Structure 1
Amino acid sequence: MLRPYLLLAQVPHAFALLGACLLARLHQPAINLVLTFLIADWTGSYAAGGVVGGAITVGQAVAGPFRGRAADRSGPSKVLLITGCGYGLGLGLIALLARPGGWLPASWWWLLLPVAFATGLSFPPSGQVGRAMWVRIADGPARQAAFAVEATAQELLFVAAPILAAFAVAAQGAFAATLWCGAFGALGAAVFAATLRRAGLRAVPPEVADRGGASLLAAPGFGLLLGFGCLMIGGVITVDLLIVGWARERGTPELAGYLAAAWAIGSLVGGLLLGAAAGRPRVWLRGALAVAGIVALVPVLPPVAVPGSPWLVTAVLLVGGLAIAPMFAATNARLGELAPEGRRAEAFGWLASAGMVGSAIAAPATGALLDVSGPAAAAAMGAVLAAVAVCLVAHPSVRNSRPAPCAEETAAT
């Protein structure tokens, strides 16, 4: 079972690159939480905090493919350094403007929206650069293990980062926590850029860089895989939100943390176990397992089960979570195969943007269903989104398209 991970360990600079990439992304799961506290302290409105955080997310989604394209053309290190500086300065400006008793009156909070949007445009593309690099430096089982480890470690980030952010808010205040996020965003991007340079990954090899201006959406299977990412993220986000809604309605908001932890632990275990599985992973099969996990929530939640057992829901989340990290690892691996070499950072930028669209669609729909019909209906909607996503990747253009060659194979020919 450990053989793929041992192969990954033999890839030069693999673990240094993985650590630097994760450090560069540490701020990402924390920023919306920190900004919500910052804006709420300033204006007294959580809604305003959500709107400002949403402006950053919109900017990030709009710029994702373009940042990836720039990384493919001029090298990832340069793009990481430039965007890291812009992102850090943007968050610093937001913190100064939104500081209670600072430069702006609270009634002018809407002036932060263009600043937040520009900050999102400067979001360092650490995730998409990191995923693109695995296609360049690893192949076969080692590449599959790399994507599995990356997806599993991402789960750790989404558990640890909000906890660290909440601690920083409690200990030093939202103003300082926002500055910390900006500093980690800029410093992490710089460390990742330096690590890429040391590993000799400054730019895509000239013989394969920028294969032309044709849209990636025209590549066989690429658009369907983006649709999968959009809808599957929507399904997963639905589960995250209904957990919070159900716990709040029960009068036990702390339960949401335990339920989310069970979901994440299942994903961690599944990522480590299936990351070592032999053979090429099938996205549609792993997606179908994720659908089954979401469907299993429907009969154990209100109004189907009244009042609903926290222990039973925890068990379903723990088992259902086993498919999440493996599914995303397989998705990233397949996208890396479908995208032409020299355009892979751009391809992962498109996937990230598709996921944000899915989240934007699922969040309000989940809220409406929680208000009107209850968490079981929200889980059913999430299952439907995920099931449609699986139908997309079951198409032969996704399953049967030939992988693009890695850099070493191209150079050899």
Structure 2
Amino acid sequence: MNFASYREILAVGSVRRLILIAMIARIPHAAAGVLLTLHVVQTMGLSYAAAGGVAAAITIGMAVGAPWRGRQVDIYGLRRALIPSVIAEVLVWSVAPFLSYQLLVIAAVIGGLFAVPIFSVVRQALGVMVPQEQRRTAYALDSMGAEITFMVGPAAGVMLATTIHTVVGLIIIGVSSALAGLLLMWTNPPTRTGQPGAYVAKTASPVVVLDGGLVKIVEGSTKISGNVFGNFWGNTRNNLSWVNLSVLAVLGASLGAGLVLSGTDVGMVATLRATDQVGDLGIVFFFWCGASLLGGLIYGALKRSINPLWLLGAMAILTIPMGFATNAWTLGLLSILPGMLCAPVLTSSAEHIADLVEERRRGEAMGWYGSSMTIGSAMGAPFAGAMIDSIGPWAGFVIIGVIAGALAVSGLLVQRVLRNRRTVSTLDDFEDLLGEAEPV
């Protein structure tokens, strides 16, 4: 392990500033979920099911919007791409608190669609601000910052709802989100190699790595024309030409991670409600989030990357024993091992996406990465809830663990088949590409 790598990255002022901005910018979004729930239930006097409908509307908007917003960054650059988001954040959340439920659902979709793409922008920027061998550490730092944010955000949402009012709180959320977008526009972190603040590679030779039998071409000082996967996916000019089975496997890992995280969240609440210990939920989150921070710290110091599907499979298996918890303390202790793999799964997934996708498509790819995690989160809660309602709290952990484990195994099998079948053909394709390389 090399913990000194953290010091090297944090010594770069622009990287340190971006990670801090990311932590601050995520707080409004982290607070919005609980604040909207309290607004629908407390202020509007509707059911929790109705609140879930609004949450689902935001999820749909974000799942569709993240890749689209990421693609706008790829095409127009960061500042121009963020202008619609900054305007929409203020307008939507300043009007939404005064709408009827039906219109609130529509506003939630629009709000999710135009949400400032903090996650994808920060990951995309870090991918070009640090050398490739330090991406793991940079992404781990960002994941740990996100964990801290999601410990602070919900509490901030509750504070706004209880000390002021949910209407005022939602307006504050909108203004804060817009300010976060303006802060990103002001700092304008690089999203492409060659932009001010981007890392300048010292090597003149491209590095080639085989991953699941597919070629990954690491950025160097050469520009490659053509596409190894052109015969399989069509012309490189197509919008989704960067997609291949290796990328889909990584997106499956991020989907599985979202599935486990949201399902575990529901299972924790159900377990403590069954034992009349909901007030001790903070104890469980302390162990769970603290373990994730520790896991992210350790993973970021590793010298080699770990396949995110292996990490997902381990986290899924270790989540199942949480069903045996009988109180807050046992639930918290049982959450330590799966919790230690939360940040590493997300870090490894982002790292592999950055390696597998060419730079000019990376914003869109990171958007899909965020969307897959969002979709997984949206699926995890109802899956776990259905099992909890029909069987009991313990079943929520089991079904989530089994589904995520099966997803991980399926992805690993796909990678193995690709590795066995495509190694020879990929090397042949790479030899052809070397002949087409154009010096920069």
Q: Same fold per TM (> 0.5)?
A: yes
* 2:283 counterpart letter in structure 1: Y
Per the alignment, residue 371 of structure 1 pairs with 389
Q: Identify the match of residue 86 of structure 1 among 85, 88, 108.
A: 88
Per the alignment, residue 115 of structure 2 pairs with 123
1:383 matched to 2:408? The reply is no
Per the alignment, residue 305 of structure 1 pairs with none
- 1:7 Cα deviation after fit: 2.4
Assess if the C-alpha contact under 8 Å between 2:74 and 2:363 holds in 1: yes
- 1:131 Cα deviation after fit: 0.5
Work out the CA distance in 2 between the residues paired with 1:159 and 1:172: 21
* 1:294 counterpart letter in structure 2: T
Assess if the C-alpha contact under 8 Å between 1:229 and 1:354 holds in 2: yes
Work out the CA distance in 2 between the residues paired with 1:398 and 1:114: 45
Assess if the C-alpha contact under 8 Å between 2:322 and 2:397 holds in 1: yes
Deviations 1:238-267 (A, max 9, x none): 111100011112122112222122111110
- 1:347 Cα deviation after fit: 0.6
Q: Identify the match of residue 161 of structure 1 among 149, 153, 163.
A: 153
Per the alignment, residue 210 of structure 2 pairs with none
Deviates more, 1:1-10 or 1:331-340: 1-10
Work out the CA distance in 2 between the residues paired with 1:274 and 1:355: 20
Q: Secondary structure at the match of 1:123?
A: coil
- 1:150 Cα deviation after fit: 0.6
Work out the CA distance in 1 between the residues paired with 2:376 and 2:258: 6
Deviates more, 1:78-87 or 1:324-333: 78-87
Per the alignment, residue 317 of structure 2 pairs with 292
Per the alignment, residue 312 of structure 1 pairs with 330
- 1:328 Cα deviation after fit: 1.0
**Cα 1:22–1:167 shift into 2, 3 Å:** same
Work out the CA distance in 2 between the residues paired with 1:349 and 1:17: 18
- 1:213 Cα deviation after fit: 2.2
- 1:148 Cα deviation after fit: 0.5
Q: Secondary structure at the match of 2:360?
A: coil
Assess if the C-alpha contact under 8 Å between 2:262 and 2:378 holds in 1: no
Q: Identify the match of residue 65 of structure 2 among 60, 63, 66.
A: 63
* 1:264 counterpart letter in structure 2: C
Deviations 1:74-111 (A, max 9, x none): 0122222321221221011102x14xxxxxxxxx4212
- 1:50 Cα deviation after fit: 2.5
**Cα 1:183–1:310 shift into 2, 3 Å:** same
Per the alignment, residue 75 of structure 2 pairs with 73
Work out the CA distance in 2 between the residues paired with 1:204 and 1:277: 25
Number of matched pairs? 387
Q: Identify the match of residue 259 of structure 1 among 284, 289, 294.
A: 284
Deviations 1:8-38 (A, max 9, x none): 1344511111112222222111111111122
Assess if the C-alpha contact under 8 Å between 1:225 and 1:398 holds in 2: no
- 1:174 Cα deviation after fit: 0.8
Work out the CA distance in 2 between the residues paired with 1:81 and 1:362: 33
* Length-normalised TM-score, structure 1: 0.86
Within 5 Å, which residues of 2 pair with 1:8-407? 8-11=9-12, 13-45=14-46, 46-95=48-97, 97-98=98-99, 108-196=100-188, 199=189, 201=190, 212-216=237-241, 218-298=243-323, 300-301=324-325, 308-394=326-412, 395-396=415-416
Deviates more, 1:31-40 or 1:182-191: 31-40
**Cα 1:214–1:51 shift into 2, 3 Å:** closer
* 2:52 counterpart letter in structure 1: G
Work out the CA distance in 1 between the residues paired with 2:110 and 2:307: 38
Assess if the C-alpha contact under 8 Å between 1:80 and 1:126 holds in 2: no
State the Cα RMSD in Å: 2.7
**Cα 1:38–1:166 shift into 2, 3 Å:** same
Work out the CA distance in 1 between the residues paired with 2:124 and 2:410: 23
**Cα 1:391–1:202 shift into 2, 3 Å:** closer
Deviations 1:361-402 (A, max 9, x none): 222121111111112211111111221232244214599999
Per the alignment, residue 4 of structure 2 pairs with 3
Work out the CA distance in 1 between the residues paired with 2:144 and 2:132: 19
**Cα 1:110–1:347 shift into 2, 3 Å:** same
Assess if the C-alpha contact under 8 Å between 2:33 and 2:154 holds in 1: no
Work out the CA distance in 2 between the residues paired with 1:88 and 1:139: 36
* 1:287 counterpart letter in structure 2: L
Assess if the C-alpha contact under 8 Å between 1:236 and 1:382 holds in 2: no
Alignment identity in percent? 22
Q: Secondary structure at the match of 2:340?
A: helix
Per the alignment, residue 304 of structure 1 pairs with none
